Chain A
Amino acid sequence: MTDTSERSITLSDQKSGLAGDQAPVISMIGTKAMLFEAPGAFTMAHQRRIWALIEAAESRSDVQELIPGVTNLMLVFKILPKDPEQIAAWLRHAWDTLPERHIKGRLFEIGVQYGGELGEDLQRVADHAGLTPEEVISIHHGNEYTVCAIGSAPGFGYLHGLDPRIATPRKSVPSLHMLAGTVTIGGMQAGISALTGPNGWNSIGFTEITLFDPMKEPPALFAIGDRIRFYPESIVL
């Protein structure tokens, strides 16, 4: 069989070699879903434009679900699109013309028990950053974070706002039983684990909050655009 690489895979008007330079990349994920990926860096400006796109796509009658990611958006369709290229053109136009959507989210102030058994990777983060654990803690709660998207696990928020000085690669050997509520750093992202289970992110502390309750409306504690400030409740070094 021959390679049919000439067949259109990405629906954008750019050729794949140039993908990611300036134009968004739009591709079909099977017959039911379409993925829109913004060009450029992970900035809040880009994420706000993704939020604008969500609002616009919510008004489409052919959409069943919208799954926001980190500078991307997946559309899952109710009815399989007859002409995906037409929807791609609509998305491109919306991306080019819509202004950034500022969401005045709620502010969560979250007390953290830094270090100790439930934040056992604090030293690892400090070593990687070339800082003391105290400095890592103070940098971590010095910034305000924004919930960019929710995903991966029920209620888990992808947070923007981590100070690059304490960015730390994921662990090559994940913790097998990290508790829900563990305050984590994974690469350039900060997080609070939503479920108890295996986790490759670095744990630096713990908080009592519950991120997801299926019996509540809405079931997720965070929504996109919400802001988070951490403060030290206790520190164990």
Chain B
Amino acid sequence: MITVLETSPLNTVQDCGRPGYRNLGVGSSGVMDMLALRAGNILLENQPDDACIELQTFPFLLRFDAPASFAVTGIDADMELDGRKLLPWSAVTASAGQTLRIGPPRNGARGYVCVAGGIDVPVILGSRSTQLRGGFGGLSGRFLEAGDTLGIRPGGASCSGYAVLPPSVALKNGNDTETPGVVTLRFIPATDYLLFTEQSRAIFRNCEWKITPQSNRVGYRLSGDKLQLTNPVELRSYGIVPGIVQVPPAGEPIVQMADANTAGGYPRIATVIEADLWRLAQARIGSRIRFQECSYEEGVDAMRPVEAWLENMKLMVSRYRNSCMRRESGKAGGKK
């Protein structure tokens, strides 16, 4: 069991999300940075969709009430286990009673506390993710609070002492004309792209967009130049998936994210490709992003290095853990 000792609002239990209920108006939820969860679960040899704690506000303190292996992914930050400094993106084992403190990130915006076995909250509509709007899933459908206790599912093996390179290093955007401090996101033009003026399309691609404080798990509101339609359009409500970029009448785009409504009605200019959504999830309020057009095929191919990175990680982790276990059984006096 884990006890939350200190937290601000906005921190929740999340897993890979709750697909399959958008036709009932239930958004997918799930972690904003899917790579961080998948990497954390690989590090701990969990199931890919085991649940974690998503941190958006810091510092965050928790106590392990029983021994547990864990990994903190997604961010680079000062983190300590009973005062001992820890590396992010590494597997660590805590003894019962130890306290984990995670400070504000130096890099990234969202941290993920993954625990061997996964966080144990009831599965509702196929997922452990917190559905904030609907008020269900996660821990009672709400943000975590100091004093909350969370179960850990049994079966997690204890092993530690290894780490992975974060995706910000391992998955540098190859096709970038990168400006330092500006995150490049590749997009595929969406339904109404050509209904925007040629000038607006050029602005969309060339402008550096600032992430406004009105950005959260629902969506990112961007500020920059105004985008205009050639002629006004009246749209009927249509389905929404994370990554879709809509332009409300005021002309500044919104990128829908994990907690997006399932339906919307604003014109759709673009969709950020799946392979780059984690970059946006880790971009902070006040930072700048840039959109780079790609084709459908390029968008599909962009997932390859991501999957290769995760596959390789799986292999390395399993090799390391096997050799660990052999050494352990050797020490215990077992025959070779």
Contact = CB atoms under 8 A, between A and B. Distances in A.
A151 B190 contact: no
Interface centre among B22, B24, B125, B190, by most chain A C-beta atoms within 10 angstroms, is B24
Contacts of A25: 191
Interface string A180-202: 00000000000000110100000
Nearest to A74: B239
Contact of A29 (B24, B131, B268): B268
A84 B274 CA distance: 16
Interface in B20-34: 20-26
A153 B25 contact: yes
B299 interface: yes
Contacts of A153: 25, 133-134, 261
A155 B25 contact: yes
Interface stretch (A59-67, A95-103, A105-113, A123-131): A59-67
B271 A151 contact: no
Instruction: Label chain B's interface by main secondary structure.
Output: mixed
A220 B25 contact: yes
A80 interface: yes
A210 B104 CA distance: 41
Nearest to B27: A154
B171 interface: no
Contacts of A65: 19-20, 22-23
A70 B244 CA distance: 18
Interface stretch (B83-91, B147-155, B201-209): B201-209
A155 B22 CA distance: 10
A7 B262 contact: no
Given A65-B22, A194-B25, A152 B263 contact: yes
Interface in A1-37: 1, 3-5, 7, 9-10, 16, 25, 27-33, 35, 37
25 contacts: A4-B293, A7-B189, A9-B189, A16-B194, A27-B191, A29-B268, A30-B190, A30-B243, A31-B300, A33-B239, A33-B241, A67-B22, A67-B263, A68-B23, A72-B239, A76-B241, A151-B23, A151-B261, A152-B25, A153-B261, A154-B134, A197-B133, A214-B124, A218-B24, A219-B21
